[in-house]
Amino acid sequence: MKFSRVKRLTSFILICTICLTCGCTRLSFQKTVTPGNSVSGLYFDTAISITAYDDTSLEVLKDTLGRCEDYELIFSRTNENSELYAINHRTGGVIEGDKYTVEVSEDMYNVLNIALKYSKETELAFNPTLGSVIKLWDYHSDNPVVPSEVEIEKALKFTNPYVMDISGELFEETNEHYLSLPMDETIIDLGAIAKGYIADELKDYLQDKGCREAVITLGGNVYCIGCKGGAGYTVGIQKPFDSKGATQMTVNISDSSVVTSGIYERYFETDGKIYHHIIDGSTGYPVDNELASVTVICSDSMKADVLSTALLCMGSEKGLEYAKRDPSIHVIMITRDGEVLDSERNG
Ligand code: ADP
Ligand code: MG
């Protein structure tokens, strides 16, 4: 993952117990729920917090948060000690001719497989092999520059996700997983999927420990466990380009994830033009359409993460069509003009 600065919290929880109904119970069962224990930290340059709305102990929350360190050491593109860094630098494996093969962790195997599935389903709007292009857009720099067309043209040659050859469970009893890649400049970047995977994993871990009501926030990825005593959680959707915390609207959810991808999250401005961090894989440039943000609500946070990025790349028309075909997602788009488009509203 590449995060150039601590992310603003695009979605944030409004601590209130309003709202009439929620997914798992009715108004008559509502009770006021106040936050319990809470922990926060900074991993993959992202502000992370976990707040329980039941009696989950601080120890359990700390253990859950601590797992982020393990995930950073798997999925970070820039951390030199990560599994992904080794893959992208073709170390730690076996090289035969033009082919590099390495044993990968189960987490990496899972994410790469699902990443390939979504590459196909979104017709490459989501592409986990844009690393060679993403690396050219240096949002870290104090004086970021627009890469040259020649550089972009060259980098685009190494963005075919289907060069990844993933094989799992070669030996059933040892449960080994392997990845093969060509010895070229293909770079895997999981910045648009890993946080969703981690949110789902943290949620499962917390629930295994008996937690029934909690909110996990990883930057723009929020997972709400339970239904906050019947009221549901009220999650704010950031007003694009406004001050942190300014909400365009709120949604009330239970047992679901809310993920927002926005072009205002990380960008630089040159000659009055905004260059942001969501890349159109067909051009190598930041996506340039009418959308400012896409929020996806879904019980599967990884799916919400992938699709918030992919639908933003598709644009409003194609993105809404996609959303309406899939009943497991609710999509809210905000255009650069401030218009709200909702996949659950007619029209
Ligand atoms: P955020 O990281 O702000 O939550 P996203 O989930 O939309 O936002 O992921 C954006 C990140 O994913 C970028 O920083 C980059 O690492 C990577 N990325 C950018 N464009 C794409 C794309 N079209 N497909 C897959 N990954 C992308
Ligand atoms: Mg995403």
What does DSSP say about strands 214-218 and 221-225: parallel, antiparallel, or unpaired? antiparallel
Looking from the CA of residue 305, the nearest atom of ligand 1 is: 6
CA 297 – CA 299 distance, rounded (Å) = 7
CA distances from 82 to 108, 161, 250 (A): 11, 20, 36
Tell me which residues have their CB within 5 A of the ion that is ligand 2: 192, 261, 305, 308-309
Query: Nearest ligand, CA of residue 278?
Result: 1
Range in 34-43, 157-166, 238-247, 311-320 the model is least confident about:
238-247
Q: Is the pLDDT of residue 21 over 60?
A: no
Q: Is the pLDDT of residue 76 over 70?
A: yes
Å from CA of 311 to ligand 2 middle? 10
Q: What is the pLDDT of residue 171?
A: 58
Q: What is the pLDDT of residue 151?
A: 98
Q: Is the pLDDT of residue 146 over 90?
A: yes
Q: What is the pLDDT of residue 93?
A: 96
- Residues pairing with 42 in the sheet: 47
Å from CA of 170 to ligand 2 middle? 31
Range in 161-175, 217-231, 236-250 the model is least confident about:
161-175
Å from CA of 309 to ligand 2 middle? 4
Query: Nearest ligand, CA of residue 310?
Result: 1
Q: Is the pLDDT of residue 1 over 50?
A: no
Q: Is the pLDDT of residue 276 over 70?
A: yes
Residue, of 345 and 335, whose pLDDT is higher: 335
Mean pLDDT estimate for the chain: 90
- Single pTM value for the model: 0.91
Q: How many residues does the chain have?
A: 347
CA 262 – CA 309 distance, rounded (Å) = 8
